[in-house]
Structure 1
Amino acid sequence: MTSAASAEPLVKEVRGSHCRTTLDLFAEWARVLDFPDYFGHNWDAFEECLFTTVESAESADSAGAAGSVTVVVRDAAQLLVDEEPRQLATFLAIVDTVGKGGGFSLRAGREE
């Protein structure tokens, strides 16, 4: 049996309390995940930048090890609470789609 090398995951932390609206969510995730300056602050751009972040982590290790991205959301109950429920549904659909490609996971962290 051959075992593939695996890089340490890239773990980033966002605060749900900084993501109460879609615009705040876009700003927080862009800051934490270092989205490019051209990030358009809309759902399509968010999905594209999230995919790009995961792809970059997967190809970053010159030794061929596959990296991954884990985002821990602190105060997760605050995520998009000032928005219509469909905004949270859109967010969850995007992270689900990105996660199905492998290399990405989302975790709820404890409130501090």
Structure 2
Amino acid sequence: MEVIVKNINCLNEPYVHFTFDVEKLINQFKLVNEVYKKDAGMFTTIIEGIKCTDKQSLFEEFSRKLNFPDYFGYNWDAFEECFTEFGWPESNKYVLFIKDFDMICLHDEEELDTFLECLDSAIKEWIIERDHGAVIFPPTPFHIVIDCNSDLLTKINLKFGNSKIEMI
């Protein structure tokens, strides 16, 4: 059984999984969905990096795929809030597959850095209990599977740290 399938229930590192092969990402997506098809608490989706080439299109793609609430404000603060607190859909395990990651915020390095910070923040939030007043979220497995080119891997390694990532 593939590594990502075995790690989905874990709250331990690595949380970010890489491949340089888009077919491998798609096969992992299919495998996860096949293995966990009877697990109503599993949420998976494929984010299309090609639809996230700038900040606005990134917000639209994530909002659509992650079912952000109608009040989502289409700015980084609102994105981070929805991304770290999305209980819609209600699940107990999350795996986001990001295809063509190297297309995200393609011509804006600063926006890409902000996006990577949001991903890192979300990972840190999901693995601990979060008390949001009326709602307490238990620690929740949250994994990201990324298809990107090797040039971007160095930048992502620096952001997440080598211990939090693995090659699949």
The aligned length equals 97
Q: Aligned-pair distance for 1:82?
A: 2.6
- Cα distance in structure 2, aligned partners of 1:74 and 1:90: 19
Match of 2:43 in 1: 10
Match of 1:35 among 46, 56, 68: 68
2:118 pairs with 1:80 = no
Match of 2:136 in 1: none
Query: Unaligned 5+ residue runs, structure 1?
Result: 1-5, 62-66
Instruction: State the TM-score, normalized to the length of structure 2.
Output: 0.52
- Cα distance in structure 1, aligned partners of 2:57 and 2:97: 17
Distance 1:110 1:44, change over 3 A: closer
Local SS of the residue matching 2:47? strand
Match of 1:105 in 2: 143
Q: Aligned-pair distance for 1:76?
A: 1.2
Instruction: State the TM-score, normalized to the length of structure 1.
Output: 0.75
- Cα distance in structure 2, aligned partners of 1:76 and 1:23: 16
Distance 1:110 1:13, change over 3 A: same
- Cα distance in structure 2, aligned partners of 1:110 and 1:100: 22
- Give the percent of matched residue pairs that are identical in Structure 1 and Structure 2: 30
Letter in 2 for 1:20: T
- Cα distance in structure 2, aligned partners of 1:12 and 1:106: 10
Greater alpha carbon shift after TM alignment, 100-109 vs 26-35: 100-109
